[in-house]
Chain A
Amino acid sequence: MKDGDIRILRQDRLEIGVYRHQGAFYAYRNHCLHQGGPACEGVVKGKVVDIFGSDRSFLAQTYDHDDPHIVCPWHGWEYKLKTGECAPDPRLKLKKYNVVTREGGIYVDV
């Protein structure tokens, strides 16, 4: 897997999305906390941020690519790729798995 890649692992009913981002691996259950959609099968987008001027007036919006979001393709619920936290409510989290690289292989600890 190269940087930016996604893989979906399926074993029986367990589905896990594995991401490689800035050299690190992240793995989450492919199950959106909203209506059960395939959260890891959608696009990855940088967090959208508002840019305000010194007087707090709105200037523009931009992407923060250091905070990529996993987007569930069913309804657009967003999760932080680095933590699995739901972007608008961090109390909600995708189930996270540890990823180990060993002898050229990528292993997900379930």
Chain B
Amino acid sequence: MDNMQPVVSDPTRETFDTRSLLAHAQQQAEDRKYEDFMIIDVDAHHYESSSYKDIWDMIEDPVLRDQFKYTKGATLQQRSTGGYQEMAGRITRYAHRSTEQAPGAPHRDIGLTRKWMDSMGVDVACIFPTPMLGLGLNPIVEVEVQYAKAYNKWLYEHILAHDSRLVSMLYLPMNDPDAALKMVEEYSGRKGVIGFLVTTVRYKGLYDNSYMKLYRALEERGLPLSFHAATNWGDQSMHITNRFLATHALGFTWFNIVHMTNWVVNGIPERFPGLKSIWIESGLAWVPFLMQRLDNEYMMRSSEAPSLKRLPSDYMREMFYTTQPMEMVNNQTMLQETFKMMNAETQLLYSSDYPHWDMDLPSTIYDLPFLSQQAKRNILGENARKLFNLDYYISDEKKARLAARKA
């Protein structure tokens, strides 16, 4: 028997570092040769709460600016999501994020984000905020408008303007349709702005006539509108769940199910055929469910949706969806059928949701046995590159791996 002398380490004494945490992700990226193709992550996050003070300084309304400062952001937190995503310390990156070393210039969030992107093999990431996913619940309309304006200005000036690998779809303050329209007019065409975002935890129907100018403006500009789900534990139906698992599993699908249903039944895809929509962070299993449910009801009650010229599922099949959190426990057959039903090869967009607790690596797509190599590359990057008109780009780390292979 040979004795080897391995390197020994004590994980409880190591300084937290994303590159170490994701060392296995990097191994996956190298083993699968991700340097051979572009990977775009359409839904990733940063924690804008780490930059609250800078964002508050950009709030135009001096009275609200004071309220944000003195309540330390509580003005923003008018939602009842609660939750314990970090699972009592089990997801270690939550507790240790603030201690991590990262380049501070041009902004620490860029340094932190690049670390996980390079580990996973992601070339370009669309980043979204975190607590702001519940901002649409704020009963004070001006709070949503003022904070959205400040955040978008901050994101553009401090992040997007400095790093071509980071892009975003900017938050729309949908409780004020005119303000949302102005946001599109102001930011369209700016560096890194690849579309606009509706957070779907909100209680105003997105079919309201007051939104039509907004949809027309997006359609004219060829900019996608994305719908990012979340949950609201204070919602009456969610209020009867008593575990975060339950409100998360249901809420993150429910709010997109409701708005998608309204979107289709009210004929928005017929009224704005050039407006591309993206449905984010509800997983995939809800899509075939809703397609079947709506088709069945529509055939009996088509008089209630007279502007539709095809089945609801036909419209849904032309929309775009992000992958995460992809349901993949003992369900390969269902997953394959789901991919077929949604035309995944052209409509599905890889998303990690990193650094959130239920993140998915690119391997969740790359390792699926029923996808062709081209389908994998489409979902991991090409579909998004075409949708957002992005240039083909490979990160410096991946270029170096490619060069090393050729040498």
Q: Are A and B a genuine interacting pair, yes or no?
A: yes
Q: Do A45 and B88 have beta carbons less than 8 Å apart? A: yes
Does B404 make an interface contact (CB < 8 A)? no
A53 and B142 CA atoms in complex are apart in Å by 50
User: A residues within 8 A CB of B9?
Assistant: 7-8, 10
* Size category of the binding interface on chain B: 20 to 34
Q: Do B90 and A76 have beta carbons less than 8 Å apart? A: yes
Does B186 make an interface contact (CB < 8 A)? no
Does A38 make an interface contact (CB < 8 A)? yes
- Number of A-B residue pairs with CB-CB distance less than 8 Å in the complex they form: 72
User: B residues within 8 A CB of A8?
Assistant: 8-11
Q: Do A40 and B7 have beta carbons less than 8 Å apart? A: no
Q: Do B24 and A73 have beta carbons less than 8 Å apart? A: no
Chain B, residue nearest A13 (CB): B27
A110 and B12 CA atoms in complex are apart in Å by 24
A38 and B19 CA atoms in complex are apart in Å by 12
Which of B25, B27, B28, B358 is close to A75, meaning CB atoms less than 8 Å apart? B358
Q: Do A10 and B87 have beta carbons less than 8 Å apart? A: no
Does A42 make an interface contact (CB < 8 A)? yes
Within the complex, what minimum Cβ distance (angstroms) separates A38 from chain B? 6
Q: Do B91 and A75 have beta carbons less than 8 Å apart? A: yes
Given contacts A7-B8, A8-B8, A74-B359, contact A38 B24 (CB under 8 A): yes
Within the complex, what minimum Cβ distance (angstroms) separates B363 from chain A? 7
Does B6 make an interface contact (CB < 8 A)? yes
Q: Do A43 and B89 have beta carbons less than 8 Å apart? A: yes
User: B residues within 8 A CB of A16?
Assistant: 6
Which of A17, A35, A43, A110 is close to B364, meaning CB atoms less than 8 Å apart? A35
Within the complex, what minimum Cβ distance (angstroms) separates B9 from chain A? 5
Residue among B21, B359, B364 with the highest chain A CB neighbour number at 10 A: B21
B residues adjacent to A (C-beta < 8 A): 3-4, 6-12, 21, 23-25, 27-28, 87-93, 357-361, 363-364
- Give the top 7 A-B pairs by smallest Cβ distance, nearest first: A9-B6, A11-B6, A73-B92, A41-B11, A10-B7, A71-B90, A76-B90
A residues adjacent to B (C-beta < 8 A): 5-11, 13-14, 16-17, 31, 35-38, 40-43, 45, 71, 73-76, 78, 107, 110
**Can you show 23 pairs from A to B with CB atoms below 8 A apart?**
A5-B10, A7-B10, A8-B9, A8-B10, A8-B11, A9-B6, A9-B8, A10-B7, A13-B27, A14-B6, A36-B28, A36-B363, A42-B11, A43-B89, A43-B92, A45-B88, A45-B89, A71-B90, A74-B359, A75-B357, A75-B359, A76-B357, A110-B4
